[in-house]
Structure 1
């Protein structure tokens, strides 16, 4: 048994030192449904769109973090979803209403990376609505915090 464990450790170290260690985890492939017309995107789809980076503190993580994703207004445009209000639903069926004007007035993003790493479901991913709180102090309130929904599975118009 000792020889087997030692052998496995040696193989692991060999791969690690040789640069053949597994790469960063790949993004989860859960789709994000937008509107009722069947428009769906995955992280891979979002990566093909123009990217936005927000460095901000949130009430949900310690310190500041760098979030990467797509502007909500661009995503809504791509999905041809126009509505005065958006209803966002999480994987656990939590729902929140977000005024569509937030997407126009602020650089709100649908993030899929935090600090350079794909967000997994267990880390509030794969999609998290992020507001630029540090750039707009008026957004630092409980009302905005409740709109920063994570594990988004659907965005619908209302």
Structure 2
């Protein structure tokens, strides 16, 4: 088990070294797996496979089309496949999501609303959103609390 974790860490470090890194980017999203961190700039986030859905939220008026990469795609870049991820906002609001509850398509780290980038005053530049209207499971207090905006970092908590 120790050898497997060591190999995974080495592969992760090599993978992370090949990814685009922009230190202290204004709209950067930091992703940390153990001791290895990457900062994805907006271009790197926008170059990931994109998901899109239209939904209403309790924080906005009317239906909005959100698009951005899935959280799954982002944590996969950092080699995070198990445990729990911690997401932190610019104001230090923190939520945790078990990796087992993250699918390939939901939630997404929205970087566009109705096809346009949005800034911190509009809950951006990254907002973790679910297709709330598509399933009552996305309308629970837990899911709403996990809908973190002004997202700046994602990190893992290794399983025991």
TM over 0.5: yes
Partner of 2:57: 58
TM-score of the pair, normalised by structure 2:
0.76
Measure how far apart 1:46 and its partner are. 1.3
Kindly report structure 1 stretches of 4+ aligned residues shifted beyond 3 Å.
Answer: none
The CA distance in 2 between the partners of 1:131 and 1:33, in whole Å, is 21
Compute the RMSD of aligned alpha carbons.
1.6
Aligned to 1:34: 31
The count of residues paired between Structure 1 and Structure 2 equals 131
Query: Separation in 2 of the partners of 1:51 and 1:29?
Result: 21
SS of the aligned residue for 2:61 comes to strand
> Residue 155 of structure 1: SS of its match in structure 2?
strand
Larger Rg: 1
1:116 Cα deviation after fit: 1.4
Structure 1 unaligned blocks of 5 or more: 1-27
Q: Name the SS of the counterpart of 1:76 in structure 2.
A: helix
**CA displacement, residues 92-135 of structure 1 (integer Å, 9 cap, x when unaligned):** 11111112123227521001111111010111001100111112
Task: Kindly indicate whether residue 117 of structure 2 is the aligned counterpart of residue 156 of structure 1.
Answer: no
SS in 1 for 2:53: strand
